[in-house]
């Protein structure tokens, strides 16, 4: 896959351009290498628009998290108000209503660790098996997985609810964790990644050396899958962290709410008679909610990109 900014440069591997970057800067005829593609005004404008579109809401969130409830109403949304209340807001977010925010944060972490972690683990096992073993019905499974990728989780939420309701599992954390364990997209990604990243010869060599299937998987295959694992983990983490609809219909007891539901409860307080209006805490809470995700993305960026591009260049 060529980088989106490249328009007409040949698809040379990126590594060849590193000497050019280290070379002294000379004013000369501009050369269009993959490391320094030709500039296109149209593409620059379009990318800037996309950047604005994605960054402005974040900036808005960060700026408004510094305002009090009064400041929110009488200052411009895209600039700071006279009083800087970020630290107060953060403290209030964690102490409001006997620190219920912390409880929601821990719930979200629980769902992410068990749900997204479990989904990733299952995707690795399944993807590896589908990529490296031949068995009857593989094509059928492929069709089912591809079909499942096309069905959004939201569409399955209500049938899942009815099923869980029969099993008596609604209003328990399991009702959120178990459906999160299934990630068709993660499975598909692991499948594609595993078939590219693990040479079959390597597995055969391991088997000839006398390693059992489990050992081959854990000591030979797993390290090779690391970038793919991180990608799938990020995907499922984001999906579980931001999950709103599933917990909304599954959970009644606010003690098991994740952050998404909790924040929406805080927001709806403003719609009730005598309700405590805490838009400032809703905004600060939202900011705090997305910080871990942003951190995860920045720290794991390398894996994330290589995972996305997996299989795009045939070597």
Partner 1 sequence: MRRKTSRLLRGIALLSTLALGATACGGSDDGSDQKAVSASDIQAALKKGGSVTVWAWEPTLKTVAADFEKKYPKVKINLVSERSGDKHYTALSNAISAEKGVPDVAQVEYFAVSQYSLTKGLTDLAPYGADKLASKYTPGPWNAVSEGKAVYGLPMDSGPMALFYNKTVFDKYKVAVPTTWDEYVDAARKLHKADPKVYIANDAGDAGFTTSMLWQAGSRPYKVDGTTVKIDFSDAGAKKYTDTWQKLIDEKLLAPINGWTDDWYKGLGDGTIATLATGAWMPANFVTGVPGAKGDWRAAPMPAWTKGDKASAENGGSSLALPALGKNKELAYAFVEYANSGAGVQTRVKQGAFPATTAELQSTEFQSTKFDYFGGQEANKIFADSAANVADDWSYLPFQQYANSIFNDTVGKAYVSGTKLADGLKAWQDASVKYGEEQGFTVEK
Query: Contact positions toward partner 1, by CB under 8 A?
Result: 68-74, 252-254, 257, 265, 268-279
Q: How many CB atoms lie within 10 A of CB 15?
A: 9
Beta carbon of residue 308, minimum distance to partner 1 (angstroms, whole number): 37
Closest CA to 256 of 57, 141, 104: 104
Residues contacting 35, CB < 8 A, separation 6+: 14, 17, 18, 20, 21
Of residues 22 and 272, the one with the C-beta less far from partner 1: 272
140: tokens are 């059928």
Of residues 279 and 303, the one with the C-beta less far from partner 1: 279
Of residues 128 and 161, the one with the C-beta less far from partner 1: 161
How far is the CA of 308 from the CAs of 130, 197, 230, 305, 311, in angstroms? 20, 13, 11, 5, 9
Give the SS3 label for residue 313.
Answer: coil
Of residues 190 and 283, the one with the C-beta less far from partner 1: 283
CA separation for the pair 163, 150 (Å, rounded):
21
Of residues 24 and 159, the one with the C-beta less far from partner 1: 159
Beta carbon of residue 290, minimum distance to partner 1 (angstroms, whole number): 19
Burial of 173 (0-12, 13-18, 19+ CB in 10 A): buried
CA separation for the pair 261, 279 (Å, rounded):
15
Beta carbon of residue 101, minimum distance to partner 1 (angstroms, whole number): 14
Beta carbon of residue 260, minimum distance to partner 1 (angstroms, whole number): 13
228 contacts 176 by C-beta, under 8 angstroms: no
Beta carbon of residue 242, minimum distance to partner 1 (angstroms, whole number): 19
- Helices 117-132, 226-241: crossing angle, 10 deg rounding: 140
Beta carbon of residue 156, minimum distance to partner 1 (angstroms, whole number): 20
Of residues 71 and 311, the one with the C-beta less far from partner 1: 71
Of residues 183 and 260, the one with the C-beta less far from partner 1: 260
68: tokens are 């009090």
Reported for 299-306, long-range contacts at CB under 8 A and 24+ positions apart, including other chains, are 300/230, 300/234, 303/226, 303/227, 303/230, 303/231, 303/234, 304/230, 304/231, 304/234, 306/227, 306/231
Beta carbon of residue 269, minimum distance to partner 1 (angstroms, whole number): 8
Of residues 116 and 278, the one with the C-beta less far from partner 1: 278
DSSP assigned state of 33: B
Beta carbon of residue 270, minimum distance to partner 1 (angstroms, whole number): 6
């Amino acid at each position: 896959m060529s980088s989106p900014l490249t328009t007409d440069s040949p698809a040379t591997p990126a590594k060849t351009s590193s000497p050019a970057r280290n070379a002294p800067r000379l004013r000369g005829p501009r050369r269009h290498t993959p490391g320094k593609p030709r500039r296109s005004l149209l593409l620059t404008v379009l990318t800037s628009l996309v950047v604005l579109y994605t960054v402005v809401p974040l900036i808005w969130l960060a700026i408004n998290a510094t305002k009090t409830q009064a400041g929110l109403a009488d200052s411009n949304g895209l600039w700071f108000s006279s009083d800087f209340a970020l630290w107060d807001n953060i403290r209030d977010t964690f102490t409001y209503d006997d620190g219920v925010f912390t409880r929601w944060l821990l719930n979200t972490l629980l769902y992410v660790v068990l749900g997204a972690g479990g989904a990733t683990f299952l995707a690795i096992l399944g993807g590896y098996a589908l990529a490296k073993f031949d068995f009857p019905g593989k094509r059928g499974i492929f069709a089912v997985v591809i079909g499942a990728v096309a069905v959004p989780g939201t569409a399955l939420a209500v049938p899942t609810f009815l099923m869980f309701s029969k099993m008596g599992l609604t209003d328990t954390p399991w009702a959120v964790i178990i459906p999160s364990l299934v990630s068709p997209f993660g499975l598909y990604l692991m499948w594609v990644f595993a078939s590219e990243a693990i040479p079959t010869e390597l597995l055969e060599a391991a088997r000839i050396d006398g390693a059992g299937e489990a050992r081959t998987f854990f000591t030979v295959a797993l390290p090779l899958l690391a970038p793919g694992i991180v990608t799938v983990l990020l995907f499922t983490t984001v999906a579980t962290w931001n999950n709103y609809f599933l917990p909304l219909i599954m959970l009644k007891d606010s003690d098991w709410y994740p952050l998404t539901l909790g924040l929406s409860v805080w927001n709806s307080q403003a719609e009730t008679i005598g309700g405590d209006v805490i838009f400032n805490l809703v905004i600060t809470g939202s900011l705090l909610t997305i910080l871990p995700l942003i951190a995860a993305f920045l720290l794991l960026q390398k894996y994330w990109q290589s995972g996305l591009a997996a299989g795009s260049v045939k070597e």
